[in-house]
Amino acid sequence: MFMPTPGPMQPGAMLPGAMPLQQKATSLIGRPVGISMRNGTGVSGILCSVQGGEIYVLQYMYQSQFATFHYPFNQVADIIPFPACR
């Protein structure tokens, strides 16, 4: 049976099993995460909340100082949970 080759993915289309970024972020609140930014940089910290189209991340600064930063979803490429220690 002939199966046509699928065309290019449409913008906003998702792969099977992929989760929308905002939904993924919500499921990771309270966990340590790595965040890939669209500009090629990355940050890591504890994902504190998701609100107003942004994620809020608690990041370590230096000595005993921490700060919460916020990043708009349109600047975030992906959010990855830290793996478990072995």
| Domain boundaries defined on the chain | 21-81
Q: Give the pLDDT band of residue 5 (cuts 50, 70, 90).
A: low
Kindly report the number of other CB atoms within 10 A of residue 64's CB atom.
6
Q: Which residue would you say has higher pLDDT here, 68 or 1? A: 68
79 CB neighbour count, 10 Å cutoff: 22
pTM score of the predicted model: 0.77
**Topology of the domain covering 21-81:** SH3 type barrels. (2.30.30)
DSSP 26: H
In the block, tokens 């609140």 appear at: 29
